[in-house]
Each structure stands twice: as structure tokens, then as C-alpha cells.
Chain A
Amino acid sequence: AQSVSQHNHHVILSEAASLELGCNYSYGGTVNLFWYVQYPGQHLQLLLKYFSGDPLVKGIKGFEAEFIKSKFSFNLRKPSVQWSDTAEYFCAVNGYDAGNMLTFGGGTRLMVKP
């Protein structure tokens, strides 16, 4: 079975601060990894994904994430957040042998103060 843990439930930052959201997964094989974002009143949108290759992946709006296989981690980073980044962020894993089924973490609610 696959599982995802997001350690930070709520994060409050000031504009221009750096962001790192933790994500750890549990699965005994090859994985695909995703970060989705849910802005207030909007639907889940894909921020970035890792399928294979370079473990440092870049997504939209200046976000990036690094896959560290030895740590089963896929942390999300942004060097300088903006007020418009206020949203809920979800990490998700898809085990390669689990078909096209996503398992999500509990989410991290980010508030950026102007």
C-alpha cells in the first residue's frame, strides 16, 4: 500500500520569505510524485510532477521540488513567496504498480501575509 505524509498542516509566511513544504511517502517500488495546489474557491491544479529523470523538477509559478529516493521525500520549495500563493498544497504519490491511482497527503494550508 502507498501512503503520503505532509508534516506541516499550517504555515504562515510573510511575502518574500522562502518556502519549503515537506512530503514523505511510503511505497516499496518505483513512484510517480505530484504536487497539487488548491487556491481558495478553485479546483485542484497541478503544480509539478516527477515521473523519472532529473530529480529536481520545476513547475509553474516558480515552484520546484526535489525527489530524494533515499529519504522517500519530495519536498516543495519556492525561494520567495507572494500573497497570491496563499492556498492549500497537496502532495500525492502514484506507485508504479498501483495503476493510475493517486494517494494524497493531508495537505498544507499556506497563508502568505502581505
Chain B
Amino acid sequence: ETGVTQSPTHLIKTRGQQVTLRCSSQSGHNTVSWYQQALGQGPQFIFQYYREEENGRGNFPPRFSGLQFPNYSSELNVNALELDDSALYLCASSLAGGRSTDTQYFGPGTRLTVL
């Protein structure tokens, strides 16, 4: 069984640039959630994708967007990067989506630094 993988591991960008982060879900999982973990804080929910559609969103502006592909992998896109976007971005996969709940399994994260 393959766990959740994310790429790249680290990324350095400058303010105003755009970034794309990638996530491959655990084998058999159809739901992907993205979280932002700022230094010294707990992860914060950005959004979730289920069956290729956004299925819930946290308190993040529209410049945070995503995609889910037919193989259930996902991308997180952030436009017009700001210094406060510097964080560890975590992807989690699970079996349930919609109104269901299920355990979420996390990937290693992508460390984004915005200069």
C-alpha cells in the first residue's frame, strides 16, 4: 500500500509569484484535503476535493485554488503569493467525502518559503 506523497519537498518563491503543489493520495482513497501549517501552529483546513469537485472550504481567499484528477491526485495552486503564505502545506487523503467522515492520512508536506 502506497501512502500519501507530495511534491516538491521544499520550494522558495518571491512575493507575487504563483505556485503549484502536488499530492498523490493513498491507494484506494478518493478524497483529498489540503491544510496549511504555519510555524508553531496546528494545521488549518484549506479545502477538500471529492470526485473532482471542491467539497468544503476553510477561511482562505480565492487565490488558493485546487484541482482533483480522475486518479484522485490533486493540486493546490496559490496565486499572488504573500509573505504570510510561507508555511508547510499538508495533503491528506481519505476514503470518504461528501457528508461522510473518515480518518485522514497525511503526506510529508511541502515547505513553501515566500521571500
Contacts and interface: CB of A to CB of B under 8 A. Distances in A.
Interface string A74-114: 00000000000000001010101111111111110000000
Contacts, number: 72
**Most chain A beta-carbon neighbours within 10 Å: one of B42, B44, B48:** B42
Interface residues of A, number: 27
A96 B101 contact: yes
Interface residues of B, number: 31
B56 A99 contact: yes
B interface: dominant SS: loop
Interface string B96-115: 11111111111111000000
B23 interface: no
**Most chain B beta-carbon neighbours within 10 Å: one of A34, A46, A96, A100:** A100
Interface of B: 31, 33, 35, 40-45, 48, 50, 55-56, 58, 90, 92, 94, 96-109
